[in-house]
């Protein structure tokens, strides 16, 4: 992939706000006391610039919206000289990320300390209403993405851009690292007719972009037309994983506890569309996967026989405390990533599905089957199709297609995506 592609033309309509922050210049990263490179977040650059002075600001954030001092962006905005905090907006799981399970809406609230409203954008509405935006001069978005298409925070951002475009409200997106790096793309690309709140645009499961680059892609390539300014980071490089830099890991959502989770998530999120347990209700969600009645040793042996690079499938038995297959002993595996640079998470999950389909067919006592609607506000489409972005994977697994042939089927659409991908890169 070409990582030296030109950036989008800032003179295009709606491409940038006046007095936009300059793109971060490529430079050698300074080292923190831990020895890891220092990354200056978009939020830090924005607050240091003084650009918010005299503005009434709405902030879209959650508990992961902190800097290296563990100070939250809401606290930074509230304390900034000449800046008025007007409203707080929270994504799925809530501004405080208190709700464990998916598909549970969060109520609106009031921040008693700062005396501003806290609006839920995962409630009766998934986008800010005109009443919520009333009196604001600018909307600042500082959310932590995890590098996978199926993550609702980026669509909360997209919905904010859509509404902001309609009312002429400027939007500033503060860029943050992609935890699983910015060089690899993988998996099926979402197709027209399969859009949902977990996938609005034709991008692959592993998209290889930062949230700021996604904002540029959504706004410019897909025509949202907001008055968008992305504030880039300084010191971040595309090959960096989260632990290659100094920003602390704060759980972005309740079932994304570690970087290890994020690394397997581009594939393992698809487990949500099946009867398999993705191990919600354990300490290792998405790394563990299983189903009652499965012989874990035989299952893992079949998976390891593929010889996929960068991964070992260790046989395990576990009992989820809640969610699918709760209080039942599940046999399956833990995905141990031995080399994250060669590991292909979506391929690994395709192999898991292929093997579960063979070992626990629909005739088994607890079968491997596809979950039925509803799923994330979609009441008609099969959830696995919503997650993968087409019906292809479901049909390929049902037909017994080899996982490597499934992977090969993604390449034509990935090739087309890479052309759009290179247009929005902010970092070499």
C-alpha 255/C-alpha 102 separation (Å) is: 9
Does residue 322 register a pLDDT over 80? yes
Considering its fold, how many domains does the chain have in total?
A: 2
pLDDT of 33-49, one tens digit each? 778 899 999 999 999 99
pLDDT in tens, 193-208: 999 999 999 999 999 9
**Residue 417: what pLDDT?**
96
**245 and 135, same domain (yes or no):** yes
Rounded average pLDDT over 291-297: 96
CB-CB neighbours of 374 under 10 Å: 12
**What is the reported pLDDT for 35?**
80
Structural domain that includes position 209? 42-254+416-423
Question: What's the CA gap between 45 and 212, in Å, rounded?
Answer: 14
The pLDDT, as a whole number, for residue 3 is: 36
Label residues 286-315 b or e (16+ Cβ within 10 Å = b). bbbbbbbebebeebbebbeebebebbebeb
| pLDDT one-digit tens code per residue, 325-338 | 999 999 999 999 99
Say whether both 215 and 280 belong to one domain.
Answer: no
| Averaged pLDDT of the chain | 92
- Top pLDDT among 23 and 262 is at 262
Answer yes or no: do 192 and 272 share one domain: no
CA angle, residues 67, 229, 154, in degrees to nearest 5: 65
37 part of a folded domain: no
Q: How far is CA 157 from CA 90, 92, 142, 180, 211, in A?
A: 11, 11, 9, 20, 9
Is position 300 within any domain? Answer: yes
pTM metric for this prediction: 0.91
- Does the structure show a pLDDT above 80 at 100? no
In-domain check, residue 65: yes
The domain that contains 86 carries what CATH number? 3.40.50.12170
Q: Looking at the structure, do residues 246 and 263 belong to the same domain, yes or no?
A: no
- What's the pLDDT band for 15 if we cut at 50, 70, 90? very low
Does 290 lie in the same domain as 189? no
At residue 36, the pLDDT reads 86
Whether 198 and 316 share a structural domain: no
CATH at residue 291: 3.90.1150.140
- What pLDDT, on the 0 to 100 scale, is given for residue 102? 63
Residue 7 resides in a domain: no
Asked if residue 363 is part of any domain, the answer here is: yes
Is the domain of 169 the same as that of 58?
A: yes
345, 206: one domain: no
Ramachandran region, residue 82 (left: φ > 0; alpha: ψ -120 to 50; beta: rest): left
The verdict on residue 9 lying in a domain is: no
Q: What percent of the chain has pLDDT over 90?
A: 85
Say yes or no: 173 and 298 in one domain.
no
Look at residue 30 in the predicted model and tell me its pLDDT.
74
Q: Are residues 216 and 337 in the same domain?
A: no
Do 169 and 289 belong together in one domain?
Answer: no
**What is the C-alpha to C-alpha distance for residues 207 and 202, in angstroms, rounded to an integer?**
10
Per-residue pLDDT tens over the stretch 45-95: 999 999 999 999 999 999 999 999 999 999 999 999 999 999 999 999 889
355 assigned to some structural domain: yes
The answer as to whether 276 is a domain residue is yes
């Amino acid at each position: 992939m070409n990582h030296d592609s030109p950036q989008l033309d800032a003179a295009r309509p709606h491409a940038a706000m006046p007095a936009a922050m300059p793109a971060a210049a490529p430079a050698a990263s300074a080292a923190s006391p831990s020895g890891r490179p220092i990354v200056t977040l978009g939020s830090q650059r924005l607050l240091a610039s003084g650009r918010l002075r005299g503005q009434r600001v709405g902030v879209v954030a959650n508990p992961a919206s902190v800097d290296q001092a563990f100070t939250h962006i809401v606290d930074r905005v509230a304390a900034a000289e000449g800046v008025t905090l007007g409203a707080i907006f929270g994504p799925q799981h809530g501004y405080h990320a208190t709700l464990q399970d998916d598909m549970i809406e969060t109520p609106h609230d009031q921040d008693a300390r700062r005396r501003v409203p806290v609006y839920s954008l995962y409630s009766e509405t998934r986008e800010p209403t005109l009443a919520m935006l009333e009196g604001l001069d600018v909307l600042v978005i500082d959310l932590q993405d995890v590098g996978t298409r199926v993550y609702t925070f980026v669509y909360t951002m997209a919905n904010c851009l859509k509404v902001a475009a309609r009312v002429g409200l400027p939007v500033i997106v503060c860029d943050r690292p992609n935890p699983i790096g910015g060089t690899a793309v993988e998996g099926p690309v979402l197709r027209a007719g399969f859009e949902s709140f977990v996938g609005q645009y034709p991008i692959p499961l592993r998209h290889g972009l930062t949230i700021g680059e996604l904002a540029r892609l959504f706004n410019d390539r897909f025509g949202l037309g907001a008055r968008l300014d992305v504030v880039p980071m300084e010191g971040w490089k595309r090959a960096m994983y989260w632990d290659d830099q100094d920003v602390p890991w704060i759980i972005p959502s309740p079932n994304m506890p570690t970087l290890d989770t994020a690394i397997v998530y581009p594939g393992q999120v698809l487990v949500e569309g099946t009867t398999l347990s993705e191990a919600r209700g354990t300490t290792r969600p998405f790394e563990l996967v299983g189903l009652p009645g499965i012989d874990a040793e035989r299952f893992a042996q079949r998976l390891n026989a593929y010889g996929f690079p960068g991964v070992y499938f260790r046989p395990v038995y576990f009992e989820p405390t809640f969610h699918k297959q709760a209080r039942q002993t599940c046999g399956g595996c833990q995905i141990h990533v031995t080399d994250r640079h060669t590991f292909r998470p979506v391929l690994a999950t395709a192999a898991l599905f292929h093997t579960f389909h063979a070992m626990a067919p629909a005739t088994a006592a607890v079968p491997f089957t596809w979950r039925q609607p509803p799923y994330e506000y979609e009441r008609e489409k099969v959830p696995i199709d919503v997650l993968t972005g087409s019906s292809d994977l479901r049909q390929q697994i049902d037909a017994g297609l080899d996982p490597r042939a499934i992977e090969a089927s993604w390449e034509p659409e990935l090739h087309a995506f890479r052309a759009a991908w290179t247009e929005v890169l902010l970092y070499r």
